[in-house]
Amino acid sequence: MTLVGIGYDSHRLSPGRRLVLGGVEIPSELGLDGHSDADVLTHAVIDALLGAAGLGDIGEHFPDTDERYRDADSIELLAGVVSRIADGGHLIVNVDCTIVMERPKIATHRLEIRERLATALGLAPGRVNVKASTGEGIGFVGRGEGVAALAVASLSIPA
């Protein structure tokens, strides 16, 4: 049996914050604002995995009112979710995701992001696809106010 989950997240761009996408820090004048490291891509991947496993959403597992998660490394949160899914007897098959942002362009970082996420997911990089899109100058992404990310994950239950 195969299970599929979807994840979506967005964060505001602000001065004085780091821009971390899929665990990779990208040089940028503006970074993402949030309680944790605001790694919007990793958050979308976490929600896709939790969705596929029927385990709710990221806010239930890591509330932004909980001081333990202030400036948290989202890759560590992802690793926790991955082990929780393994404990439940599910295998992660693949993850596909899209970063939607205007700038900076992330083409030169895409392979590193893919490898970082793959390591955290315990998957070969070929099972983790990372795509990039822009806001075409419209909406909060297009105006450079924030970044969005989408992800899907599929899980299987071994026979």
Q: List residues binding Zn ion (CB under 5 A).
A: 9, 43
Question: Crossing angle, helix 40-53 and helix 110-121, to 10 degrees?
Answer: 40
Q: How far is the CB of 48 from Zn ion (least distance, A)?
A: 13
Q: Which is nearer to Zn ion, 9 or 102 (CB)?
A: 9
Q: Which is nearer to Zn ion, 40 or 52 (CB)?
A: 40
Task: Name the residue whose CB lies closest to Zn ion.
Answer: 43
Q: In 3D, which of 76, 135, 130, 142 has the Cα closest to residue 106? A: 130
How far is Cα 123 from Cα 81, in angstroms, rounded to an integer? 14
Q: How far is the CB of 146 from Zn ion (least distance, A)?
A: 11
Q: Which is nearer to Zn ion, 74 or 154 (CB)?
A: 74
| 106, burial (CB in 10 Å: exposed 0-12, middle 13-18, buried 19+) | buried
Q: How far is the CB of 134 from Zn ion (least distance, A)?
A: 20
Q: Which is nearer to Zn ion, 43 or 90 (CB)?
A: 43
- Cβ atoms 95, 129 nearer than 8 A: yes
Q: How far is the CB of 123 from Zn ion (least distance, A)?
A: 21
